[in-house]
Amino acid sequence: MLFPFLKRWQFLLQANQFSLYRESHCHYQITVHPDIPLNEQIMDLVGKIPVNLPWQNSIEFILDIPYVQYALIPWQAGLLTPTEHCQYAAMLIETQHNMPADATKITFFDHRYGENAFAAAMASDLFVTLKNIASNARLRFQGCSTPFTHVLNNANKKLPENIILACIGKDISSYAIRYQQCWHSVLSLHMPEAEAAEQIKIISQLAGVPELPWEQVGFL
């Protein structure tokens, strides 16, 4: 095994709480305080990682709403390069989520020729902040991801023709709908009182699709 003593931590950023995990076990958790700078709260929690040899630990940041925003990016035949697709996606996300296009980092979960794409966006300065926090703590930076990142990577591009992927949160839940082999809709809604199955029914009605098979996406 390469780097057998390397311990990998996951830092989960959610709207009202931050959590620090290792091997799917939550070791530390704090409630987010709006009057304390975000970077200070993240650094305090990262500082709880036991000190080992420099760079022996690694860290991955997993972002939930509102630190990441999701979007459906319709296919545009006139866009020829990855840069052009990212610029187009950034403009759409700026319109939908009020995130400045020139200060946004775009990731495509699933982007195929001639089809709509499923994308995520985070503020570029947040990405830099998280990378610097990891570096200052002498942790290997494993990047930023979302719950959808992991499930789609594991799918190996063999996605069902029809499915709703649901990331159920305490405050806001996010849904990505594939219908007839294409990404159909991407939504994030506040429905804390509704059970997961009820949420799926509501989302199906809002998106105008029949009730499809669904899979709950976990944060880890």
Nearest one of 71, 63, 62, 141 to 106, comparing CA atoms: 71
| Contacts of residue 134, Cβ cutoff 8 Å, sequence gap at least 6 | 46, 59, 140, 141
The confidence band for 157, taking pLDDT boundaries of 50, 70 and 90, is low
The overall average pLDDT reported for the chain is 89
pLDDT digits (tens, 9 = 90+) for 99-128: 888 899 999 988 888 889 999 999 999 999
Q: Report how far residue 146's alpha carbon sits from residue 140's, in angstroms, rounded to the nearest whole number.
A: 18
Residue 129 predicted with pLDDT over 60: yes
Mean pLDDT of 7-13: 93
Residues in the chain: 220
Please give the radius of gyration of the chain, using alpha carbons only, rounded to the nearest integer. 18
Note the pLDDT of residue 177: 96
Edge-to-edge strand list for the sheet holding 69-73? 69-73, 117-123, 104-110
Provide, rounded to the nearest whole percent, the portion of the chain with pLDDT above 90. Answer: 62
Residue 150 predicted with pLDDT over 60: yes
Q: Where are the alpha helices (DSSP H) in the chain?
A: 38-46, 82-97, 124-136, 147-155, 196-207
Q: Report how far residue 155's alpha carbon sits from residue 86's, in angstroms, rounded to the nearest whole number.
A: 23
pLDDT digits (tens, 9 = 90+) for 61-76: 999 999 999 999 999 8
Note the pLDDT of residue 101: 84
Note the pLDDT of residue 170: 81
Residue 174 predicted with pLDDT over 70: yes
